[in-house]
Chains A and B, each alone.
Chain A
Amino acid sequence: MRFEIILSGFGGQGVLFAGNLLALAGMYRGYQVSFLPVYGPEMRGGTCHCTVVISDKDIASPLVKEPGYLIILNLPSFLKFIPRLKKGGVALVNEDLVKRDEIENYEELTHHKRVIYVPFSSLAEEAGAPLALNLCALGAFNGLLKLFSEDVFVRALKEMLGKSKAHLFEANFRAYLKGIEAINKV
Chain B
Amino acid sequence: MKDKRILVKGVEAIAFGALEGGCNCYFGYPITPQNEIPELMSVELPKRGGVFLQAESETSAINMVLGASAVGARVMTSSSSPGISLMSEGFSYLIALELPCVIVNVMRGGPGLGGIEASQGDYFQAVKAPGHGDGKFLVFAPYSCDEAYELTAKAFELADKYRNPVMILSDAILGQMKEPLTLKPLKIKRIKKDDWILNGAKDRPARVIKSLFLDSAELAERNRKLKKKYQMMEKEIRYEKIFEGNEDIIVVSFGSMARLCKEAVLNLREKGYPVGFFRPITLYPFPRFTLFKLAEASQRKKRFMVFELNCGQMVEDVASSICGRGDTYSVFYPPSILPFPEDIEKEIKKCLKYSNSPKV
Contacts and interface: CB of A to CB of B under 8 A. Distances in A.
Interface of A: 20, 23-24, 27, 32-37, 39-41, 59-66
A39 B340 contact: no
A63 B341 contact: yes
B172 to A, nearest CB: 6
B147 interface: no
Contacts of B180: 27, 32-33
Given A39-B118, A40-B117, A63-B338, A33 B33 contact: no
B218 to A, nearest CB: 49
B251 to A, nearest CB: 12
Contact of A65 (B5, B172, B342): B342
B134 interface: no
B340 A64 contact: yes
Contacts of A39: 33, 116-118, 172-173, 176
B341 A35 contact: no
Contacts of A64: 340
A62 B173 contact: yes
A34 B173 CA distance: 12
Contacts of B327: none
B340 A65 contact: yes
B341 A62 contact: no
A35 B178 CA distance: 5
Contacts of B176: 36-37, 39
Interface string B318-352: 00000000000000000000101111000000000
29 contacts: A23-B7, A23-B178, A24-B7, A27-B5, A32-B180, A33-B180, A34-B177, A35-B7, A35-B178, A35-B179, A36-B176, A36-B177, A37-B177, A39-B116, A40-B116, A41-B116, A60-B266, A61-B259, A61-B262, A61-B263, A61-B341, A62-B173, A62-B177, A62-B259, A63-B173, A63-B341, A65-B340, A65-B342, A65-B343
A59 B340 CA distance: 14
